[in-house]
Amino acid sequence: MGRKENGMSERKATVAALLAALGDLTPEEMLALADHPGEFKAFCTGLYAEEVRNTFVIPLLDWEVQIQFPQFADRLPPWRRLAVFKGYGGPVAWKIMPGFMVNKHAQLVGPCYSGVEYTRMWDNLPETPTKSCLVFWMPRLLKDSTVTNIALMEEWRAVIKQEYTFPPNHCDSFGSIQLLFALILAHFKRTGERVLSGYQYAVSDSYDECGSRIFACEYKEDGLRLSVKDGPFNHERYGFFPIGVEELDEPAKPAVAKLTAP
């Protein structure tokens, strides 16, 4: 199965994966499945509908942006140039649905460490939901951004902005933790790639109530994590994603979702 309309996943359900799932069923469960194919299909349809409800990000190809959002088509060239430089050939535009919050939705969208339950013990983690917008983003940390403090990261961000002639509202922020989580999980759902898979930390513009900056980090087998740090960030594993946000006047239309990765 190839890539479909509206950012459908590059991943696909393999025969081996389906057989493995069936292998966990007891003989009695297998017989019940064989005796009730209609009910089984209805169950799968329900799972798919749940995925639709829990889809907050839709990756768009360049031509889809040009058709659906022609007013933002001129944003594409600098992002594509940066993507080519970073060796990334996937979507650079992502349609964001309103309402995503880390504590409420992240564990429903993709693998998250401990279901992000540990964040409930923090000092009032801010949960400002995502707004309807078109985000320009690629799942690659700018490794040259790994410097000792946020001020220097911002200086490097300004250099990138000028070098690639980004518009005024692009590459001028790090993105909220809600937006970063939604994008990282959407990219995983689309490709199976775990950005930040090592000991990498992506800085956000979000803070906890004590004033500590919040990071997305360490997307390992046990899921994507949140971390709160005060700095300085003097290790190469800290960096930022380039990002540009264009607010939409109208709420984004319901998405066509794909099955969540295990």
Residue range 171-187, pLDDT digits in tens: 999 999 999 999 999 99
Residues 230, 140 contacting (CB under 8 angstroms): no
Has residue 136 been placed in a domain?
yes
Domain span at residue 156?
A: 51-247
Residue 78 has pLDDT above 70, yes or no: yes
Question: Where do we find the tokens 């991943």?
Answer: 11
CB burial of residue 27 (10 Å; 0-12, 13-18, 19+):
exposed
64 lies in some domain: yes
User: Residue 235: its pLDDT value, please?
Assistant: 66
Tell me: the pLDDT tens digits for 125-140?
667 889 999 999 999 9
Does residue 253 belong to any structural domain of this protein?
A: no
Domain-embedded: residue 145? yes
Say whether pLDDT at 253 is over 50.
no
Which residue, 5, 10, 61, 13, is CA-closest to 191?
10
What is 104-148 written as a DSSP string?
A: HHHHHHS-BGGGGGGGGGSS----PPP-SEEEEE-S---GGG--S
Q: How does pLDDT run across 5-32, given as a tens digit for each residue?
A: 344 456 566 666 666 667 777 888 777 7
Cα separation of 117 and 107, whole Å? 9
Alpha-carbon gap, residue 163 to 165, rounded angstroms: 6
Three-class secondary structure of residue 83 per DSSP: helix
Q: What is the pLDDT of residues 88-108, one digit of tens each?
A: 999 999 999 998 988 887 888
Does residue 3 form part of some domain? no
Give a yes or no: residue 158 inside a domain. yes
30 in a structural domain: no
**DSSP H helical ranges for the chain:** 15-23, 27-35, 37-53, 62-68, 76-85, 102-109, 150-163, 177-191
> Which pLDDT band, with edges at 50, 70 and 90, does 118 fall under?
low
In this prediction, residue 72 carries a pLDDT of 96
How many structural domains compose the chain?
A: 1
Q: Is residue 222 situated within a structural domain?
A: yes
Cβ atoms 186, 59 nearer than 8 A = yes
Given pLDDT bands bounded at 50, 70 and 90, which one contains residue 241? Answer: very high
Instruction: Report the candidate in 97, 167, 105 with the shortest Cα–Cα distance to residue 134.
Output: 97
